[in-house]
Amino acid sequence: MREEMAQQQQQPRILLTGSVGYIGCCILERLAKTHPELPVTAIPRDAPCEYDVIQEHAAKSDIVIHAGKPEAEKVILSLLHGLASRDQSKPSFFLHLSSNITVSDATASSTSGNEYNCCASAGIEFGERDPRVWSDIDDLPEIRTLPNNHIHRPMDSLIFGAAKKYGENIHTAIVCPPDIYGTGAGGLERKRECRMLPLYCDEVSRQKAALYVGKGANMRSLVHVHDLCELYRLLVEEAVRTIKTGKLRDECWGENGFYFVSNDEDVSMRDIAKAAAGILKSHGLIQNENPRSCTPEETENMIDGSGIALWMFGSNSRTNAARAKKLLGWVPKGPYFWEVFENDLIQYKGNDPYRDFYPENMEPEA
């Protein structure tokens, strides 16, 4: 026992925020299974923890994984300040969770990169297909200079800035998953759920019909939650290797450390709505087996009225995980979206306080 404890003390130390969320819980489970020798300190949620405590934990860590809210600026700054206060003779790593919504074609209608607002009158063709697929290699120069009204862009910009400021000592990576599906880690009282599908189901229940925007031809990239967590495992292993060997691969970190995490399956919202209508009717949850097309103006007022429904149901957000595949050997192996869609849809239960995201004024009581 003493020998095991001594070996753990010599291993790089990991700090994980958002560890009871849909994503964070899966990351924690993956690291526990694949690298039980790595000591992990887990902070459950962003809010209850004082910022100075977060900073102290980060100062004692070699690898920090922020899997909490992407817009939690004070938490992110506390983590970065903690890493910056460490012994600078040893490298440290910061993995930040963002989202590929930052390259959504609906972004131009937003007024703030920290708010999920979207306006139907912005001149965007919601429900139309955009053929563009963003690459985290070929398009990275453009991604680095996106304006700050793009969702998550202010925090992504902060991380890129930290890479320049602390580049010799803090090596950063931004992880940008698309819509995530699949049942997450178990072992806790509640089922772990993604954000897009529960919010869609909530609105279908209110509308009493499956829905899409306009033609419903807009396309979304996808990833299974276990494949997303596999990328985190690979990034942690890359960080540990660097700490132990002193050999840093610049192409993996800093200004190059930007990772889309999409599998090769894009789906249209019309196809989702058609499938959802049939499944929900067969289970007696709605009566109408025909999905309904909604106008952008109708959709803007759905969920909490902020326009987030336009982002989720009416925009295109398509990405290619070129960097993870090329540099880390990441290969998505989880089941395809359609293989688990019915299971995810039917097993959904609302008002889950462990869900990573709720629109403003819809946060449940824990």
Residue 317 has pLDDT above 80, yes or no: yes
Q: Sorting pLDDT into bands at 50, 70 and 90, what band is 62? A: very high
- The pLDDT of residue 17 is 93
- Residue 234 and residue 12: Cα distance in Å, rounded? 15
pLDDT mean across residues, the chain: 85
Q: What is the mean pLDDT of residues 81-94?
A: 91
Q: How much of the chain is helix, strand and coil, in % rounded to 5?
A: 40, 15, 45
**Full set of structural domains in the chain with CATH:** 2-347 (3.40.50.720)
- The pLDDT of residue 358 is 40
- Residue 194 and residue 88: Cα distance in Å, rounded? 38
- Residue 306 and residue 308: Cα distance in Å, rounded? 6
- Give the phi and the psi of residue 262 in degrees, each rounded to 5: -105, 140
Residue 305 has pLDDT above 70, yes or no: yes
Which tokens go with 256?
């190059």
Query: How do residues 162-204 score in pLDDT, each as one tens digit?
Result: 999 987 899 999 999 999 998 776 544 344 556 678 788 888 8
- Residue 1 and residue 303: Cα distance in Å, rounded? 52
